[in-house]
Chains A and B, each alone.
Chain A
Amino acid sequence: MSIPIGPTPASEALAPPHADAEALGIAETPARQLWRTFRKDRLAMLGLYVLLALVVVALLGNLLTGWWVVFDPATVRLPDKLLPPLSAPSSMLAKELVPPLHSYPFGTDELGRNVFARMLQGSFVSLSVGVVAVSISLGIGVTVGGLAGFYGQRKFGPISVDSLLMRFTDVVLCFPTFFLILTVVALLPPSIYNIMIVIGITSWMSTARFVRAEFLALREQDFVTAAKALGLPEWRIIFRHMIPNAMAPVLVSATINVAHAILTESALSFLGFGVRPPYATWGNILADGRSYIFDAPWLFLIPGAAILVVVLAFNLVGEGLRDAMNPKLRKRAG
């Protein structure tokens, strides 16, 4: 009696993710569709531009401050202490210490160091802290979540893999994170690598949760069954088929985690546990500037504003990605 015309709702559910685009006559991969939706969000694009600029500045800064002696952030110039931004070096300064372009774009600090140079060096450090820490956390998170999601039902004695891994995740989640980081960082010798590692190993839990959820959903989908039916080895199914599909929420999680890592690093520096001078991070420039709030506010405002802008950019990009991935928010035709 009931023979439907045309595509039934059931078949629509299995339709390829780019069905909308097909209906509109354009063939697109999900990645391109994501990009197209992302591009429409102006704030997110702004964030993306800022991030690209940051990467360029950081790389350039690292080169410049490393190679060009005059630009060295550690150079102390006592005659030029606490100069406001855009001021010129004093005439008492030795010739070889005069900064390029004969000016201090961001002023100098209490030891006469070029704040602009320090900020440049700090940009690379802050960015790399964020990236390395999040890479570690992604590595752990994707592994734990992927294993739990894919092999979940296999048992080790009385407990299933899924249970085991998720309980482990819960345990780590229960640790008061900031406190723990503080404790570890305070007790270990101060080093940028310690900070990166500690932040990395305390922030993988949400990624693991996302990946596990995605894997659980993906595992039931027909393309995985089809791959198994074709005889593909499991590792191949996981790496080449499932992980690319699960990447979307991980990407969102990653950008937001980088933002969080940068904030954490600055908080640690503020409390005195960060990287030691003369090595500059935005966090410790900010912390040092604390004492000069009234007399030399730029020492405090500039790094603070920089952190704000960068973290904001990461957050905007992350949220933009999240919105772009949400099919309900895309306007449908008809």
Chain B
Amino acid sequence: MTRETAELLSIRDLHVEFSTDAGPVPAVRGIDLSIAAGETVALVGESGCGKSVTAMSVMRLTEGRVAGGSIHFQGRDLVSLPDADMRSIRGGQIGMIFQEPMTSLNPVFTIGRQIEEVLVLHQRLSARAARAQALELLQRVGIPAPERRILSYPHELSGGMKQRVMLAMAIACRPRLLIADEPTTALDVTIQAQIMELLRSLKQEFGMAVLLITHDLGVVAHFAERVLVMYAGKIVEQGTVRDVFKRASHPYTQALLAALPDPLKPARRLEAIPGRVPSPLMLPAGCAFCARCAHAFEPCPGQQPPLFEVGEGHGAACFLRAK
């Protein structure tokens, strides 16, 4: 049981499905994910692969139903936790920031009020103490002239500043875990770099673990310690960033890396992955990547590959790696 308690977040065999008019649709089909205290883990994949759903399921903010598996945070089972307890964890012990800073802040409240709300709720601070804390937080996330800005409304701030405010709200109560769902996707490239730097410094200062959801391999390379690659609701490869990038073992990961243009190599054709992601309504019985895989062979269409170990703490779900 020591393994369990050392892990901050432990997701085991999670299945999440959505009920639609066409029947229940599986979005997450059995994934294992664990984050230790202070660790930075990236969850990578294309749009629609289930990574956001996984993150939202941890916070119990999704409309999808957990159809199987478990989510444990600091040893507590989040799936069956009563609502009141879940709410104290949200914002208090687990913070979350989202992709769209432009629409994620309430337009009719000042940003000061929105930050103070979290502080008052979880730490029961008085209004004055909350205001002081909020000012400090704004300072910490790099908002200039916080005494003036604290009275601003969201529409008066740029996208980058809004995302900083979101960060301030999310870390206000010193959460043990921060979930960042595509935090920089909607921002300009230069702002992206600033926000990721801010995230890194906050992480170091507070000793937070970070679950980073992204489709951007570059961000993963610069920021994360471990990475899990998702495809069609399953983890296809996982390991340290170094291992996965240098010794990619799953055809999908390899194809992704090959699709990145390399400024150092001479001009060559960009390699796109042929075909398209299978629809969640029509998932194949075997490996989901099989139809697009250049190395597909006999066992692939028939059964789903489990994670095979290809190195220390490095696994790939591909029959090619079966020993």
Tell me if chains A and B make direct contact, with any CB pair below 8 A: yes
Instruction: Please give the residue numbers on chain A whose beta carbons come within 8 Å of chain B beta carbons, in ascending order.
Output: 1-9, 12, 23-25, 40, 331-334
Q: Kindly name the residue among A6, A332, A333, A334 whose own CB sees the greatest number of chain B CB atoms within 10 A.
A: A334
Contacts A5-B259, A334-B25; A24 near B47 (Cβ below 8 A): no
**B residues near A332, Cβ cutoff 8 Å:** 18, 20
Are the C-beta atoms of A333 and B186 separated by less than 8 Å? no
> Quick check: which of B198-206, B241-249, B274-282 contacts chain A, the rest being far away?
B274-282
Question: How far is A133 from B230 in the complex, measured between Cα atoms in Å?
Answer: 58
In the complex, whether B50 has a CB less than 8 A from a CB of chain A is: yes
Contacts A333-B20, A334-B27; A23 near B46 (Cβ below 8 A): no
Question: How far is A327 from B193 in the complex, measured between Cα atoms in Å?
Answer: 33
> Quick check: which of B152-160, B172-180, B212-220 contacts chain A, the rest being far away?
B212-220
Q: Which of B269-299 contact A (CB under 8 A)?
A: 277, 279-282
In the complex, whether B22 has a CB less than 8 A from a CB of chain A is: yes
Contacts A331-B20, A333-B22; A1 near B222 (Cβ below 8 A): yes
Are the C-beta atoms of A4 and B280 separated by less than 8 Å? no
Are the C-beta atoms of B259 and A9 separated by less than 8 Å? no
Contacts A4-B216, A5-B46; A40 near B261 (Cβ below 8 A): no
Q: Which of B34-76 contact A (CB under 8 A)?
A: 44-48, 50, 53
**B residues near A25, Cβ cutoff 8 Å:** 279, 281-282
In the complex, whether B192 has a CB less than 8 A from a CB of chain A is: yes
Are the C-beta atoms of A9 and B185 separated by less than 8 Å? yes
**A residues near B261, Cβ cutoff 8 Å:** 3
Question: How far is A70 from B30 in the complex, measured between Cα atoms in Å?
Answer: 75
Are the C-beta atoms of B48 and A23 separated by less than 8 Å? yes
Tell me the smallest distance from the CB of B235 to a CB of chain A, in Å: 16
Closest to B27 in A: A334
**A residues near B21, Cβ cutoff 8 Å:** 40, 331
**B residues near A40, Cβ cutoff 8 Å:** 21
In the complex, whether B260 has a CB less than 8 A from a CB of chain A is: yes
Tell me the smallest distance from the CB of B319 to a CB of chain A, in Å: 23
In the complex, whether B31 has a CB less than 8 A from a CB of chain A is: no
**B residues near A3, Cβ cutoff 8 Å:** 216-218, 260-261
In the complex, whether B189 has a CB less than 8 A from a CB of chain A is: yes
**B residues near A23, Cβ cutoff 8 Å:** 48, 279
Are the C-beta atoms of B281 and A333 separated by less than 8 Å? yes
Within 8 Å by CB of A7, from B25, B27, B47, B222, lies B47
Question: How far is A6 from B48 in the complex, measured between Cα atoms in Å?
Answer: 10
**B residues near A6, Cβ cutoff 8 Å:** 46-47, 215, 277
Instruction: Please give the residue numbers on chain B whose beta carbons come within 8 Å of chain A beta carbons, in ascending order.
Output: 18-22, 25, 27, 44-48, 50, 53, 99, 184-186, 189, 192-193, 215-219, 222, 256, 259-261, 277, 279-282
Are the C-beta atoms of B279 and A5 separated by less than 8 Å? no
**A residues near B45, Cβ cutoff 8 Å:** 5
Question: How far is A2 from B190 in the complex, measured between Cα atoms in Å?
Answer: 11
**A residues near B260, Cβ cutoff 8 Å:** 3
Return the 3 tightest CB-CB contacts between A and B, nearest first: A6-B46, A1-B218, A2-B218
Tell me the smallest distance from the CB of B17 to a CB of chain A, in Å: 9
Question: How far is A24 from B48 in the complex, measured between Cα atoms in Å?
Answer: 12
Tell me the smallest distance from the CB of B264 to a CB of chain A, in Å: 14
Within 8 Å by CB of B215, from A1, A4, A333, lies A4
**B residues near A12, Cβ cutoff 8 Å:** 47
**A residues near B256, Cβ cutoff 8 Å:** 5
Tell me the smallest distance from the CB of A20 to a CB of chain B, in Å: 10
Within 8 Å by CB of B280, from A1, A2, A5, A333, lies A333
**B residues near A333, Cβ cutoff 8 Å:** 18, 20, 22, 25, 27, 279-281
Q: Kindly name the residue among B19, B47, B53, B185 whose own CB sees the greatest number of chain A CB atoms within 10 A.
A: B47
Question: How far is A5 from B231 in the complex, measured between Cα atoms in Å?
Answer: 12
**A residues near B281, Cβ cutoff 8 Å:** 24-25, 333
Question: How far is A23 from B283 in the complex, measured between Cα atoms in Å?
Answer: 12
Are the C-beta atoms of B46 and A334 separated by less than 8 Å? no
Question: How far is A84 from B19 in the complex, measured between Cα atoms in Å?
Answer: 53
Are the C-beta atoms of B18 and A334 separated by less than 8 Å? yes
Are the C-beta atoms of A9 and B186 separated by less than 8 Å? yes
Question: How far is A12 from B27 in the complex, measured between Cα atoms in Å?
Answer: 19
**A residues near B279, Cβ cutoff 8 Å:** 23-25, 333
Question: How far is A334 from B282 in the complex, measured between Cα atoms in Å?
Answer: 12
Tell me the smallest distance from the CB of B284 to a CB of chain A, in Å: 13
Known: A331-B19, A333-B27. 5 other contacts (CB 8 A): A1-B193, A8-B185, A9-B47, A25-B282, A332-B20
**A residues near B18, Cβ cutoff 8 Å:** 331-334
Contacts A24-B279, A334-B48; A5 near B27 (Cβ below 8 A): no
Contacts A25-B282, A333-B20; A2 near B192 (Cβ below 8 A): yes
**A–B complex contacts, Cβ < 8 Å, 30 sampled:** A1-B222, A2-B218, A2-B219, A3-B216, A3-B218, A3-B260, A3-B261, A4-B185, A5-B217, A5-B256, A6-B46, A6-B47, A7-B47, A8-B185, A9-B47, A9-B99, A9-B186, A23-B48, A23-B279, A24-B282, A331-B19, A331-B20, A332-B18, A333-B18, A333-B281, A334-B18, A334-B48, A334-B50, A334-B53, A334-B280
